[in-house]
Chain A
Amino acid sequence: MNESSPIPPQVPPPIYGPRPLGDEPAERAVIPNVIAAIEAVLRQPRRVLFQLRQPGASKLIAAMLFVAIGCSLIYGVIVGSFSGGMQWWAAPVKISAGLLISALICLPSLYIFACLSGSQARLVEIVGLVVGLLMLMTILLIGFAPVAWLFSQSSDKLAWMGALHLIFWGIATIFGLRFLAAGFSHSKARSNAGRNTWAVIFILVVLQMTTALRPIVGSADTLMPTEKKFFLSHWGDSMKTPDVKSLQDSR
């Protein structure tokens, strides 16, 4: 924009595009620890994508998984602070476990969709992409945590808090899925239809998981629900309930 700028523009290379991964020396630098993994997924996603294709990518995947679990536990504590009591520990455990189980449930279908679309990605790379998605999503949730905490302390409307957490999760998921899409764009996939279908499936699974593991935001007499429900029906019921924090599971 201005050539006489005292500092050069600080724009990373586009995550998508025809340039092959590892084109720049910085992208070939090994990611040694979890801090570097966090930095890389935010600032150098191409470096993460390149490293996932290298031998020994499992170490990076383990580090990313560790971050994802840690961040989801921290955000879970913020979610649990709305109701307090048992939810201080139940909400983090449910959020963390729910995300992992959702990813596990969806992983085989992603691999199949990838193969059907002509992608050359190996299973370990697909696993890495999903774990990267989870890591980026949960890191962003940590960014939202101060705002979520403030609202948790100043609101007693369960439906409102549930909606707020869903909005934050939705924004984080958009960025997570963008990372996944970038990984796919470098895997020689002929079509994006499978990946897009999988994204819809993943979102639906996570949303249903929030209902299957309820209560997460509110509280109940039992740790797990006694009645099976579809998430839309659960949301509808939650909207009708009184505006108190300690709601019973009858919702």
Chain B
Amino acid sequence: MQTIETSSRAGEFSTLLRAESQTVAAWTVEWRSRRVATHLAVIVFGAGCFGAAMGWWRAPEQALYVAIKFPFILLLTALGNTLLNAMLAPLLGLNISLRQSLLAILMSFAIAAAILGAFSPLVGFLVWNAPAMTPDVKSTATYGLIKLVDVVVIAFAGIAGNVRLFQLLAQLAGSWRIAGRVLVAWLAGNLFLGSQLSWIARPFMGAPQLPVVFLREGALQGNFYENVWSTIFQLVQFD
């Protein structure tokens, strides 16, 4: 009995990953606690594993910290924008409920987290093969490579999650145009909030010259966009 239940849950998840959008669209109609719990567990485990792999290069404690922070960012992004996303969908032509919009976003995050989790052994292997993170490693190609691999995997997971979300929205709306509008609005909101949450939750990879901490001192001082703005401003100042 237990085996059947486990395999059916695995089957459900593969349905989600395969983007069987008709079936997945039907899942948004009703709230099934067990299914939601599965999606949450995938987010916590998948993003947690990737976070651990990312932080491991700096120190085991850093791995633990990032394993906790990374899933939190995804979950807080989904929850922080729940109301807004639920309001924007009908205003942009897709009459879905708050529950449906939350479930749709959770599913897309679960897909992204599953991809991140699947890539975490590879990132872990890469880190295992890298020299220790010492202050001089920042100037080496290894540092750049690991950073690049992390970014590429996160970008790939994000794109895949959003492609699946788009397919789901198109199924719900019966129109690519409406689905596109809603996706762009949701994406903008999630990126905006997610970037700031990631900024607050620094460090991820960690810096060799700084101590291992859960959150940097003054985590709530300044924001991501101010930093981007001042960086651009510094770059264009010639005098």
Contacts and interface: CB of A to CB of B under 8 A. Distances in A.
Interface of A: 1-2, 4-12, 42-43, 139-140, 142-147, 150-151, 153-157, 160, 175, 178
Nearest to A142: B83
Contacts of A145: 83
B22 A10 contact: no
Interface of B: 22-23, 25-26, 29, 80-81, 83-88, 90-91, 93-96, 170-176, 178, 189, 192-193, 196-197, 199-200, 219-223, 225-226
Nearest to A4: B22
A147 B192 contact: yes
Interface on chain A toward B: helix, strand, loop, or mixed SS?
helix
A157 B29 CA distance: 43
A145 B170 CA distance: 28
Contacts, number: 99
Given A1-B176, A142-B83, A155-B223, A7 B170 contact: no
Given A154-B223, A155-B226, A10 B173 contact: yes
Given A147-B80, A151-B196, A154-B200, A7 B87 contact: no
Contacts of B170: 1
Contacts of A5: 22, 25, 171, 174
17 contacts: A6-B23, A6-B25, A6-B26, A7-B29, A9-B172, A11-B174, A42-B87, A140-B87, A140-B91, A143-B87, A146-B83, A147-B189, A147-B192, A151-B196, A154-B222, A156-B221, A160-B225
A49 B25 CA distance: 31
Nearest to B87: A143
A1 B174 contact: yes
A219 to B, nearest CB: 18
A1 to B, nearest CB: 5
Contacts of A140: 84, 87, 91
B22 A146 contact: no
Nearest to A9: B174
A209 B221 CA distance: 30
Given A2-B171, A7-B29, A147-B84, A12 B90 contact: yes
B222 A7 contact: no
B239 to A, nearest CB: 19
Contacts of B193: 146-147, 150
Nearest to B185: A171
A7 B81 contact: no
Given A6-B26, A42-B91, A143-B87, 14 more contacts: A1-B171, A2-B22, A5-B174, A7-B26, A7-B29, A10-B95, A11-B95, A140-B87, A143-B88, A147-B196, A153-B220, A154-B222, A154-B223, A160-B223
A234 B88 CA distance: 32
B11 to A, nearest CB: 17
B81 A151 contact: no
Contacts of B95: 10-12, 43
A239 B91 CA distance: 34
A1 B178 CA distance: 12
A116 B88 CA distance: 33
A9 B175 contact: yes
B222 A155 contact: yes
Contacts of A9: 172-175
A51 B171 CA distance: 32
Contact of A11 (B85, B94, B225, B226): B94
A146 B80 contact: yes
